[in-house]
Amino acid sequence: MSKWYPKSGRVIFHVDMNSFYASVETAFNPALKGKPLAIAGNPEERRGIVVTSSYEARKYGVKTTMPVGEAKRLCPDLIVMRPTFERYRTASKEMFKILADVTDLVQPVSIDEGYLDITGCEAQGSPLEIADKIQTRIKEELDLPCSIGVAPNKFLAKMASDMKKPMGITVLRKRDLPKQLWVLPIEEMYGVGEKTAEKLRKIKIYTIGDLAHHSTFELKQLLGVNGERLQNRANGIDERPVDPEAVHEFKSIGTSTTLAQDTTDDIEIRRIFRQLANKVEARMKNKSVVAKNVQITIRYHDRKTITRSKQQLDFLETGDDLFQVSMQLFDEHWNQMPVRLLGITAQDLAEKSEVTQQLDIFSYEQYASKEKLYKVMESLTEKYGEDTFRSLKNNEEAKVTTSFQKDFLDDYKK
């Protein structure tokens, strides 16, 4: 058995649930099995975008981020459902419990995927035997399919899990790189987005193999330190450990919304920014963090999207502060064209307990005068519920949402 477990090195799994939201709905309602199914944010309105689809739907060309109308044209029999996040949350929790039965070294990275380090699990069998047991348990106990990548590091495990779907188990070793990895188009490499792929193609990098063998100096000139990092990954080099605590490390908290209709109405735009600010405040409060940077996203009617941010002198934590900075950014950068989507992201986060507010003579009175009010409002909210100050703060939709966020990823331990 020791031949499967190197003396110096690791054995890493990447477990990736297949078509997760659609698979959960099918497990909940077996009548959907074998039918083309898509999960969309709002099927009735144009904001309805396909979040995920079953493999039966994908055969017709239905893809993630595709508008519902286009998906239905490609697949007239497509069943479109709204997401039911509590269902997905429950399924995710049970899936990670199964992974935790194998090893304590489990690192969730999203609601439907995670890494395991099984280097010390010789007593449970070979890596392939362990992978098969995990896949079988998830299928039999949850009725959900998954693919598993087996490799000496996280990057290769991630790439391997994408190679056979659904229900695949793929081993990717460094000696397999020329035939299994380097032949793939550069845009299929994890960590290479559309814009980066476009830049790489301009310097004649078309495959992952091209990246692996390109001039490191030129890559660093083009992409900075990320150029060298991507090249290392292409050569199978990735020293990142599987870190169970990494789920608590996050760099930003944000939310956005697509408008029902394109608008230039200043009152409507301010109302939406207020709602977004309150949502971000609620999530920041839930994580006990404060922010030093605020970023807004504006998508126009022609789908052109811009982001603009502003670094703050002091940490921010209230919806009022987020709203004020966001509106200032919007007023400075809006080109007066109809707006389709708006978003707010709090960045440069820090734990509230570890931050000491540095008050100067100009901000002292502002913070001191609000502090007692905030404490009274929080105590009354705890006593009488979340709706107590809804009219005062215009706090509609400020409930914490975790549909695509990582806020819940440690739930499986509870």
Which residues are CB-neighbours of 82 under 8 A, at least 6 positions away? 39, 40, 41, 42, 43
Please tell me which residue in 25, 86, 94, 113 is annotated as part of the active site.
113
**226 secondary structure, DSSP code:** H
Answer yes or no: is 77 a known binding residue: no
Helix (H) or strand (E) holding 93: helix 85-100
Q: What is the pLDDT of residue 286?
A: 84
Q: Is 61 left (phi over 0), alpha (psi -120 to 50) or beta?
A: left
Q: What is the pLDDT of residue 361?
A: 36
**DSSP states of 165-197:** TTT-EEE--GGGIIIIITTSBGGGSTT--HHHH
Which residues are CB-neighbours of 217 under 8 A, at least 6 positions away? none
Instruction: List C-alpha distances in Å: 7 to 2, 3, 120, 174, 242.
Output: 8, 9, 10, 16, 18
The count of other CB atoms within 10 Å of the CB of residue 36 is: 23
Helices and strands (H, E) in the chain, number of each type:
14, 12
| Cβ atoms of residues 177 and 236 within 8 Å | yes
All domains of the chain, ordered by start, with CATH?
Answer: 1-172 (3.30.70.270), 178-234 (1.10.150.20), 250-413 (3.30.1490.100)
**411 secondary structure, DSSP code:** G
**338 secondary structure, DSSP code:** P
**Distance between CA atoms of 232 and 379, rounded to whole angstroms?**
52
From first to last of its 414 residues, the chain has per-residue pLDDT tens of 556 777 778 999 999 999 999 999 999 999 999 999 999 876 655 557 888 999 999 999 999 888 888 999 999 999 999 989 899 999 999 999 999 999 999 999 888 999 999 998 998 999 999 999 999 999 999 999 999 999 999 999 999 999 999 999 999 999 999 999 999 999 999 999 888 999 999 999 999 999 999 999 999 999 998 899 999 999 999 999 999 887 666 678 999 999 989 999 999 999 999 999 999 999 988 888 889 899 999 999 998 999 999 998 888 989 999 999 999 999 999 999 999 999 999 998 887 765 544 333 334 344 444 545 545 555 554 444 444 444 343 433 333 343 344 555 556 666
Q: Is 113 among the residues known to form the active site?
A: yes
**59 secondary structure, DSSP code:** T
Q: What is the pLDDT of residue 34?
A: 96
Q: How far is CA 49 from the centre of its chain?
A: 16
Answer yes or no: is 210 a known binding residue: no
Q: How far is CA 274 from the centre of its chain?
A: 24
Which residues are CB-neighbours of 268 under 8 A, at least 6 positions away? 259
Tracing tokens 């605590």 back to the chain, one arrives at 245
